A and B are shown apart, each in its own frame.
Chain A
Amino acid sequence: MEILGYNFDEFLAWVGEDTDTLMMLIWILPVIIFVFYGQRIQLMISSNEIKKDIGKLDEYTTSTKKDFLNYVKNNLTSKSDPSKKLDSFFDYFTIMPVDMDPNGIITKINHLIRSREDFIRLQINGMFSNLSSVELSKLQNLLEIVTTLQLFHKHTRHLYLTAKKQKNFPLILPLQMMIPFIMEEALALKDAMPAIKNGQPIGDGIGPMIVGQMMLGTTKESAAFETVWSKTTFEDRELFLMKAEGPNATVGRPGDGLEKIISIKKPDLVIMIDASLKLEGEDSASIAKGFGAAIGGIGTERFKIEEIATKNNIPILALVVKQSIHEAITLMTEDIANSAKTVKDELHQMIRENTTSGQSVLVIGVGNTIGVSQ
């Protein structure tokens, strides 16, 4: 048999005499392929997985955007068609301050974030008539969900396309490592939409729920923007209670609130109750105690609370309810809701152990208080 002048019979006869040669060829061929094309094959496999996730991110962004616009159309009275204006909000970005000289950066970030919030609040308020503060806060939260999902989608797609365009395998590695976490957060954000729309409490609201219950029957006063406080007593100790103003979908401004309370009376102890992200293997709704300011977010509120506490030499204790990111921002689970009683008992125990009769304690319920009044 001759193909293109090559005698295959002769070749097969040669191979037949020595099977090791055939085996060597079988092994060498893939080695050669992997040496020259290994990275490309890996890039193809990895990028296929990432492509599927980018597709999901796109789907989440589109569906939440549609959900948001439908909610606005069906539940609110607008002066003109709000779709176009709201659509432009989805693309808003925030340029963080320069951090080459970090001195004073917290004040700058705080100013930037508050300016952004004030701007969005003002714009939304101007678009709809008879908008209640609860609806306004819900809209801000919904808008934040859509904007974040859109940002996730755009950035992931950018990294993916850059790696593909430049056929650069190492460029896709960080994305491959990060994408499970991005997807976990994206899914949580998507699933948070129904709870926010219906004004139902979310897992993060456990802190405000506990403090809100303690506030029942007390006189509530404004401590800061969207933040309330009141006074009560517990076993001969004075208790100051503070939380975001419910049932708005807000976390309030506990830093400013603490500043106001300190100006009235300096507490001997601050206890912060918050939801905390559980570590893998930890049980949901389990309770943990510790030291320091239990508050998430970008860090400006925590900075303020730590600074005030340090300046006034007030110890800060933390009581947290562990939960996953999904549980923290979606409808509160039964286990988390049921943990409220245990947390309250732990709080009382903490107060007894760390203060004496006649002293005062500030208890802050940290978190989004949607669907939880006081």
Chain B
Amino acid sequence: MSKSKNKIFTCYTSTECNSCKIIKKRKFTDGDIVFATAENCSECDGKMVITKIFGVAMD
């Protein structure tokens, strides 16, 4: 988490399943890299790929 101008940013990782195309958002964990494969899909057991890593400002 980073803090700036009274804003605290939380980092999220967005993943997409290669098979069923489901998109999921979770908190960033160490080692996450954009376009790297992540955990298996909970819906179809397909491979999830990290599509985005971004910060969301919390009030």
**Which residues of A come within 8 Å of B, CB atoms?**
187, 191, 193-195, 198-201, 209, 212-213, 216, 246-247, 326, 330-334, 336-338, 340, 371-374
Q: Which 8 A-B pairs have the closest CB atoms?
A: A331-B55, A337-B54, A194-B2, A372-B34, A337-B52, A191-B4, A334-B54, A247-B33
In the complex, whether B30 has a CB less than 8 A from a CB of chain A is yes
Contact B1 A209, beta carbon cutoff 8 Å: no
Contact A246 B33, beta carbon cutoff 8 Å: yes
The B interface, classified by DSSP as helix, strand, loop or mixed, is strand
Nearest A residue to B1 via CB reads A194
Question: B28: which of A191, A200, A340 is its contact (CB, 8 Å)?
Answer: A200
CB distance from A12 to the nearest CB of B (A): 55
Contact B4 A373, beta carbon cutoff 8 Å: no
Contact A198 B54, beta carbon cutoff 8 Å: no
Contact A373 B34, beta carbon cutoff 8 Å: yes
Contact B33 A371, beta carbon cutoff 8 Å: yes
Contact residues in A for B4 (Cβ distance below 8 Å): 187, 191, 326, 330
**Of residues A187, A334, A336, A373, which shows the largest number of chain B Cβ atoms within 10 Å of its Cβ?**
A334
Question: A331: which of B5, B9, B34, B36 is its contact (CB, 8 Å)?
Answer: B9
A194 to B55 alpha-carbon distance, docked (Å): 12
A-B contact number at CB 8 A: 71
Nearest A residue to B29 via CB reads A198
Contact residues in B for A213 (Cβ distance below 8 Å): 35
Q: Give chain B interface residues in 1-59, CB to chain A under 8 Å.
A: 1-5, 9, 11-12, 14, 28, 30, 32-36, 52-57
Contact residues in A for B28 (Cβ distance below 8 Å): 198, 200
Contact residues in A for B34 (Cβ distance below 8 Å): 201, 209, 212, 246-247, 371-373
CB distance from B8 to the nearest CB of A (A): 11
A247 to B31 alpha-carbon distance, docked (Å): 10
Contact A200 B35, beta carbon cutoff 8 Å: no
Nearest A residue to B33 via CB reads A247
Contact residues in A for B54 (Cβ distance below 8 Å): 201, 331-334, 336-337
CB distance from B29 to the nearest CB of A (A): 10
Contact residues in B for A372 (Cβ distance below 8 Å): 33-35
Contact A331 B35, beta carbon cutoff 8 Å: no
Nearest B residue to A209 via CB reads B34
CB distance from A169 to the nearest CB of B (A): 31
Nearest A residue to B2 via CB reads A194
Contact B55 A198, beta carbon cutoff 8 Å: no
Question: A374: which of B1, B32, B35, B56 is its contact (CB, 8 Å)?
Answer: B35
Contact residues in B for A334 (Cβ distance below 8 Å): 12, 54-56
Contact residues in B for A373 (Cβ distance below 8 Å): 33-36
Question: B53: which of A193, A201, A212, A326 is its contact (CB, 8 Å)?
Answer: A201
Cβ contacts A to B, 27 pairs, < 8 Å? A187-B5, A195-B2, A198-B11, A198-B30, A199-B33, A200-B11, A200-B53, A213-B35, A216-B35, A246-B34, A247-B34, A330-B9, A330-B55, A331-B11, A331-B54, A331-B55, A332-B53, A332-B54, A333-B54, A334-B54, A336-B54, A337-B53, A340-B52, A371-B33, A371-B53, A372-B34, A373-B36
